[in-house]
Structure 1
Amino acid sequence: MKRILVGDIGGTKTRLALAEGEGTAVVLTEVRTYPSLHYATLELVLEEYVTQVGFPVEGIALGVAGPVSRQRAQVTNLPWVVESAALRQRFGVQCILLNDLEAVAWGLPALRGDELFSLQEGVPSEGNRAVIAAGTGLGEAGIHWDGTRFHPFATEGGHTSFAPRTEREIALWRFLQARHGHVSWERVVSGMALPELHEFLRAHEHSSIPAWLQAVLEGASAGAVLAQAALEATDPLCVELMHWFVRLYGAEAGNLALKVMSRGGVYVGGGIAPKILPLLRQPGFLESFVDKGRMRPLLEAMPVQVILTDQVALYGLALAARSSRIC
């Protein structure tokens, strides 16, 4: 594999690196992260990166948080439009665009054992796989097994309609529907969802926000603060919030697993999962994952693993670029 520039383009941050390697092994160098909202366009990020590290590459492969059509993408949670033709003209090398979760799916073969944590051993077998990843938004992808090889494919499953299961979740749906109209799974399982879930819980439980927490929320990433307060057990409502969040996450992971028929395994990625691994290891996630009535035995047989590295999409972009022969 010749050296290429790979980039994971998210609503919060953009991670760029140089990639090379052989087989399914990918070696990344010059890994750098940029705050996406600080830049008007992706081209400005790439130009800054090239200025910093140089440009000894044979191609560019980018994973974009949004639907990709004809090598053009509107980033879902950013005012960026990305086009491979424009990037090829600007930088003088071939460029491919993938959905970011499709890139993660491509990257699974490159993962080492210490980059995965098993939540459910299941009964490992050949078959389709599924990837779900909560970060700024909620991404989902599938991997079709044709009997010989895997074929990753993108979805926009995170934008399908949220299905409440309890009276409290019905109340949450009404709360969010009044604000947003369509209530997607991304509205309840993502980093941007956490502040609204917290706001709803405060109202639902008739609980006021502690002054210390209010002060911290005003100066930092609200979702990260709420999750950390739960992990440290410094606020009971935050603890309740994150346990609920984990159950919602498990429910949608189970939905995706059934739709893809992922006998080959379900992979939980994204920026949130490694940070809340102690909560994912508790019963709530898997209880919701398998709670599908008559399909429970099918889901109990599916391996479920958490992706611990934030570089899997970069691995996948390198492998996809080699498969497409741009490098």
Structure 2
Amino acid sequence: MSITLRQLEVFVAVSEEGSLTRAGDVLGLPQSSISKQLKELEDLLGLKLFDRHTRMLRLTEGGMEILPLAKKTLADLDAMLDGSAQLKTLERGRVSIAASSMQAALVLPRMVKAFSEMHPGIRIELLDVTQDDVIQMVSGGAVDFGVGSAFGDHGDLSMKTLWSEPFFAVVQQDHALARKKSVTWKELQKFPLIGSRKGNPVRTALEFSLASEGISLKYVHEVALPLTTIGMVAGGLGVGILTGSTRRLSESLGLLFKPILQPKLEREVVLVLHSARSLSPAAKKFSDALVSWTSLKKSRFNEEDNVHRFCNVCYQFGCSLTHQH
């Protein structure tokens, strides 16, 4: 037989009240049950915990040594139960997200802000990393989930499509393609191109799709981050191959976005989850809201419109704060 929490509660109550009857009143138990629980505890410990003095009970020396340990055990349990209740009701918690650099910089911040305002006790950690790092960090358990692109089978990971982004050619205003409304992939073969490094999930998916059309692109510069591509285009080093999430930043530098057609291809942004691990209540709340928000989209990705939709979805998830953007 093991020591029970009820036995510890009885011991502490009797020590504080000095009486079996009053301890029974505090705990809502009959005196016979109090006596039984106390006797069982003494037998398990091999110690006499109380001396009877007239109608009062006084702690023995052994009882005085055990009392603070019993109180701490009960206090730790209360703290654990209170903490678990706070986690369940989203009064506190932590969410860690690994996101590809452009998603972390241009798409997710205002969603994080909206969620944080609704649940101020939850700390959200947003890590901006490369596409490959998103996969590795989720797989290794460094983060709750990731937002990025994926290509191929990753075994222990599951992917949920969030939204799709079309590809664009990014050029300077005086470039030969600047006056065209759109360009084709075959046209781009004539120009020096700037894009992701070989092995990047976005580039891998793009090359796979273009190969079925008999198109192969040659890059003069291969970079790890879209921001570097934007900078190189602005510096006149070539034509950038980027997706829609980078549009606002590119245009703020005076660059032009040209839709690429024939064929029109899109990159899928996915929620990356570990199949064998469950999410904390806070992480599940955020990921569920993110999935629901993106499921409302019926057309091309539009950041401004969808931040509003994210807030509306969060409201439907039980949040009462009104947001203005």
Fold agreement, TM-score > 0.5: no
Which structure has the bigger radius of gyration? 2
- Higher relative contact order (Cα pairs below 8 Å, separated by 6+ residues): 1
TM-score normalised by structure 2 residue count: 0.29
TM-score normalised by structure 1 residue count: 0.29
